[in-house]
Structure 1
């Protein structure tokens, strides 16, 4: 089945209209007409070939909200007309230790997990095409139920990546009442981290390099805001944090933040810089038994938990809607951090 899509044909070509093939609906498949697709910074990195192993034509998009148009004979959880979501994964091996534990994002199978676009994680097999398209067909296991109100759906799309990327570490490190939690960076990921940590009941401190973002962070739910370039503001929080979620995807001094952790505190990184961070001080970790950790999106059950929590608490992303034809200007603005805080494509415009 041929459908409309927007694709990069090479790392140097702009995204442009094309057609791609989607498979027919199999027994356990769900066919989805895409309503909205969030624009993740990963989409830009991938389209421009800034990461190794990118495959072309490349159709980005892994923050997908749509309506079920058909289901296979064995599908039980979804029905035609349901509003559903698809995130960063559309398959995994299903039988390794991580998959059995509901952590498909760490799949240890031969090929890793199947990305919504760009195929299997190890680069094998056929290419896959993402949500910058009119429709997608996905195995039912990787289709998520959306319980938000219809008028919120566009702002729900980024939860499929930005939401779960911040939710997973917040849950894993038991963020909640009585915990002092730092969120480093106030962008697509960071603004969701602030909202979710606040809703979980933590005392939330946002870190930004921009004084102009102080009020924005408070409006998102931060109890305090620190301008990280101000050494006095940083020093005032020394040895006080239970947990810090660092969303910044550019190389920076990690020691400045690990010094703010309590004994046994953890800073978890979710941003992947295009060049390494300066090496952190080992002594800074050893002498207070601190940890620097990492976290990758979340499993399917965990993503459903996050979506249900957000629906119950009225949480969505702050978004700016664009037409599909405006994706290249949106990419340019995103490179300059000129969006609050996530672009979402109205796929009716494709």
Structure 2
């Protein structure tokens, strides 16, 4: 039987989030039911709630950084059991048959993965509803295990900010001896610094704000470059093997490309909008390349959680009650958070 759920969402782009009652589907044979204990707030949640990307189907209930406990499983589920602490990220289903899915890159499913919210269910066509709610039902393959001993209250942002930064660092084999720069010290950037440092890299934070230098060093950065200082940028030319670019808006990259050494790589994880042109010579000389990276697949997401558990890597979080979400959104617009909001679902739902 379907179950009654309570969440926070909105009916329109110009309306605040409010309590909404709705139904969660009955368990399919491969489904897991999860009581949500914590849900992270991502900038994508705000963009979707306010229809900034022009694809929101209302009513929408955001949330794709989810931690909770298993309360029920379908008859074919063997990976999880009642009582397990688990996590769900940006997707909850895919075709599981194409080359991308079978190779562990479900996010690039040829038929399109089913996202955790504002995405049509593969079987019914109903729009998925996310983690700002008391419980959720998810296909078992898309449910990750939270390693024993992790701080449950700080895990949720790893399911988006954590995997978004871990995936390119992992793909490009960043490790001991790597010289890495992270551009931008926000929700993504601060995780990039922490994970790159935990991988053994020498990490430099690049920022436009000198005052962020102290924070960056506390988070694990070994050096700081202020990008608005021409002398600092000139001195860093060809210094880095890898640059993780977390700037969330369109921006010029020529100046940053000059910081890459031979065969260096810059990976963009933040900016979704059209970017200004860059000079081809910046790539051709020194054999540089620019790429992009989304979240990882489910195997890599589990690997990221295991890595963070083993290395005591967590996001810096401010915990709020569910009924404080609208204030949190306004603060998010002002960059007034260090560095991620996490909703305690036991409060204010």
User: TM-score under structure 1 normalisation?
Assistant: 0.96
Whole-Å separation in 2 of the counterparts to 1:279 and 1:108: 30
Say which SS state the counterpart of residue 343 (structure 2) adopts. strand
Contact 1:113 1:121 in 2 (8 A): no
Aligned to 2:235: 236
Matches of 1:79 and 1:328 in 2, distance apart?
35
- The answer as to 2:214 corresponding to 1:215 is yes
Give CA-to-partner distance per residue, 1:143-187, whole Å, 9 cap, x none: 00001536x111111000000000000000110011100101111
Q: Is the 8 A contact 2:121 2:128 kept in 1?
A: no
Matched, 1:5 2:7: yes
Question: Which residue number corresponds to residue 57 of structure 1?
Answer: 59
1:285 corresponds to: 283
Q: 1:77 aligned to 2:79?
A: yes
Shift of 1:197: 0.3
Deviation sequence 1:45-92 (CA, Å, 0-9, x none): 110000131111110000000000111111111111110000000011
1:332 maps to: 330
Which residue is equivalent to 2:147? 147
For structure 1, which runs of at least 5 residues remain unmatched after alignment? none
SS of the counterpart of 1:168? helix
Aligned partner of residue 57 in structure 2, secondary structure: coil
Give the equivalent residue in structure 1 for 2:292. 294
Q: CA deviation at 1:345?
A: 0.3
Larger mean CA deviation between 215-224 and 47-56 belongs to 47-56
- Runs of 4+ in structure 1 deviating by more than 3 angstroms, as ranges, are none
Give me the CA root mean square deviation. 1.4
Distance apart, 1:230 and its partner CA: 1.0
Q: Is the 2:186–2:339 contact (alpha carbons within 8 Å) kept by the matching residues of 1?
A: yes
CA distance in 1 between counterparts of 2:326 and 2:138 reads 27
1:23-65 Cα deviation digits (max 9, x unpaired): 1122111100000000000001110000131111110000000
Q: Given the superposition, is the C-alpha separation of residues 172 and 340 from structure 1 closer, same or farther in structure 2, using an over 3 Å criterion?
A: same
Structure 2 unmatched ranges of 5 or more: none
Deviation per residue, 1:123-142 (Å, 9 max, x gap): x9321000000000001000
Q: For the Cα contact (< 8 Å) 1:113–1:120, is it kept in 2?
A: no
Cα distance in 1 for partners of 2:245, 2:333 equals 19
Number of paired residues? 345
1:178-223 alpha-carbon deviations (Å, 9 max, x no partner): 1100101111101100000000001101111111110100000001
Partners of 1:263 and 1:190 lie apart in 2 by 24
Inter-partner Cα distance in structure 1 for 2:94 and 2:321: 32
